[in-house]
Amino acid sequence: MPPSTQPRTNSKGRAVMGGPSDNFGSEDDIEAPPSTQPRTRISQTKGRAYLNHSDSEDDIEVPQSAHSRTPAAKIKGKGVTSGPHVSHSRTLSIVATPSQKSSTAPSKPPGKRQLERQREVPKWTETAKSDQEAKSTNGAQHGTRPPKALRACDDHSWPAITHLTYRPGSYGIGIRVQSAPIQAVIRHGIKEIQADALWINTFPDVEELDKMILNALCQATDILDYPEIAHRIVRDKTYREDLGSQLNIRLGMMRSSTNNLANLKVDGYYDFKFCRDRSQRVKELLAQNTFIYGLNDNNKVDGALPYQHSAIIATLQDLHKTYCTAYTNRYESSIPDDPMRSTERKVPIPMVAFAVTMIRGALLHWQTGNYVDMKFNSDEHVNTYKFHAQVLEMMKASPETRKKFHRMMANLYTAVTKDTENLGASGLHNIKILDLAGMEE
């Protein structure tokens, strides 16, 4: 009997396409197609269904059923599965579309690049509550020091005259933004520590630097008569560190500026312009520290004139004029118990060692025969400074060279100050060619 051509209907009375060979039953029980057909899965995106073959990446667009009122879900499984009511003999994994994802779904783990960026972001600790917690390490590098705005001192418990003003978005307190008393203390403290560096140590370590900063600030507050600020400097470590940061900066600037002045001197004082082989000339000067000795009448190196080369004396003059004119009372004799030498002043050892160190650093720019600009780094010159300071201390301590050391340093003082002495009480009488009588009234 020929197959019936009447359309088949389902349990709801709707027409169902296909003949007897289609193996379709009711709409509520759809069987999978034969295994010879390619295994597929259907996904739904914005009203469009895509038939994705498991063995092909090509997407075939299939129009959505007119009876579908809700977006279909992404169904992961075997065989053709579709429709608002899906049943299959196999277990299916249904994954909602992005619009249907629950807010409680686990988020995607961060990628490698995102993790690296998170590690680069500094993490600050809580505000320090004690002096032990207020560390002086650089928070920008180590991530342990909170911003200054967070670790600022507790001003409300101190007099208003001691309060500091922190620059927004910066770790420094600045000078110009401070009140007049704080500005005066910082500026005077800078002069004090620069002078201390030339009489005590130009390259102090961390512990000695803290002591020098404390002494300079206390000297400044004592001279300016600010006892409230002095009291807080002694009691409040964080406050002292903030003020001392400005002094430390100016101390570094003093070293770098002196190095720049020394660079301008070595070319002329060591006759580089008339030297055919400058690199060989520099090697000879650096060998056995030949550059520190003065020259005799025959323009030859004189071993009896250590630390008395014209370049060193010129550098000492620059230091005296710039940093020491207000502290001439600190020049003292190295032999105070000798009646003949107790009144003879001498240049301090740290000042001489510092000048020698800067001259040697300037000579290093000419090692290749031509001047090569190099960035100044204090750490590279510490050993040179310590070496010459130790040599001078040994000469001072030895009974055999004590008097010779005193004479050498006294001669340096005379050479350094002869053109920079304060007029003092003698006043206009020091200007020998001045003709007061011939001047018009």
Q: What is the pLDDT of residue 11?
A: 52
Residue 215, in any domain of the structure: yes
Tens of pLDDT along 25-79? 444 444 444 444 444 444 444 444 444 444 444 444 444 444 444 444 444 444 4
Question: What secondary structure letter does DSSP report for 281?
Answer: H
For residues 288 and 399, membership in a common domain is answered with yes
For residues 199 and 279, membership in a common domain is answered with no
Helix (H, G, I), strand (E, B) or coil at 439: coil
Residue 430, in any domain of the structure: no
Tens of pLDDT along 244-283? 999 999 999 999 999 999 999 998 899 887 788 889 999 9
Distance of CA 104 to the CA centre of its chain: 44
For residues 232 and 279, membership in a common domain is answered with no
For residues 185 and 53, membership in a common domain is answered with no
Q: What is the pLDDT of residue 112?
A: 72
For residues 247 and 278, membership in a common domain is answered with no
For residues 338 and 307, membership in a common domain is answered with yes
Q: What is the pLDDT of residue 350?
A: 97
Q: Are 30 and 86 in contact (CB under 8 A)?
A: yes
Question: What does 208-251 look like in DSSP terms, one character per residue?
Answer: HHHHHHHHHHHHHHHHHT-HHHHHHHHH-HHHHHHHHHHHHHHH
Residue span of the structural domain in which 158 resides: 139-252
Q: Are 333 and 344 in contact (CB under 8 A)?
A: yes
Q: Does the pLDDT of residue 125 top 80, yes or no?
A: no
Tens of pLDDT along 285-329? 998 899 999 988 888 889 999 999 999 999 999 999 999 999 999
Residue 276: burial class (beta carbons within 10 Å; 0-12, 13-18, 19+) = exposed
Helix (H, G, I), strand (E, B) or coil at 45: strand
Residue 133, in any domain of the structure: no
Q: What is the pLDDT of residue 384?
A: 95
Q: How many C-beta atoms surround the C-beta of residue 251 within 10 A?
A: 22
CA dihedral 263, 266, 268, 273 (to 10 degrees): -100
Q: What is the pLDDT of residue 53?
A: 42
- Tokens 């429709």 locate to 83
Terminal CA-CA length for the chain: 150
Torsional sign, CA 19, 25, 29, 33:
negative
Residue 303: burial class (beta carbons within 10 Å; 0-12, 13-18, 19+) = exposed
CA–CA separation, 248 and 250 (whole Å): 5
CA–CA separation, 220 and 127 (whole Å): 30
For residues 293 and 393, membership in a common domain is answered with yes
Q: Are 30 and 92 in contact (CB under 8 A)?
A: no
For residues 190 and 231, membership in a common domain is answered with yes
Tens of pLDDT along 345-388? 999 999 999 999 999 999 999 988 888 888 888 899 999 999 99
For residues 83 and 203, membership in a common domain is answered with no
pLDDT band at 219 (very low <50, low <70, confident <90, very high): very high
For residues 85 and 193, membership in a common domain is answered with no
pLDDT band at 438 (very low <50, low <70, confident <90, very high): low
Total domains in the chain come to: 3
Q: What is the pLDDT of residue 283?
A: 92
Among 2-16, 90-104, 134-148, 331-345, the least confident range: 134-148
Residue 275, in any domain of the structure: yes
Backbone angles phi, psi at 76, to 5 degrees: -100, 120
Question: What secondary structure letter does DSSP report for 322?
Answer: I
For residue 178, give the nearest of 245, 257, 252, 253 by alpha carbon.
245
Between 220 and 82, where is the model more confident? 220
Residue 285, in any domain of the structure: yes
Tens of pLDDT along 1-21? 444 455 555 555 555 444 444
* Mean pLDDT score, 207-214: 95
- Say which residues have a Cβ less than 8 Å from residue 72's Cβ, sequence separation at least 6: 42, 43, 44, 49, 64, 82
Q: What is the pLDDT of residue 7?
A: 52
Q: What is the pLDDT of residue 299?
A: 84
Residue 89, in any domain of the structure: yes
Distance of CA 276 to the CA centre of its chain: 42
For residues 322 and 230, membership in a common domain is answered with no
Residue 315, in any domain of the structure: yes
pTM comes to 0.62
CA–CA separation, 141 and 32 (whole Å): 64
* Mean pLDDT score, 91-102: 44
Q: What is the pLDDT of residue 430?
A: 43
CB contact burial 139-178 (16+ within 10 A = b; e otherwise)? beeeeebbbbeebbbeeeebeeebbbebeeeebebeeeeb
For residues 246 and 293, membership in a common domain is answered with no
Q: Does the pLDDT of residue 82 top 50, yes or no?
A: no
Among 20-24, 232-236, 354-358, 409-413, the least confident range: 20-24
Distances (CA, A) of 295 to 286, 305, 358: 16, 8, 20
* Mean pLDDT score, 159-183: 86
Residue 31, in any domain of the structure: yes
Average model confidence (pLDDT) across the chain = 74
Q: Does the pLDDT of residue 122 top 70, yes or no?
A: no
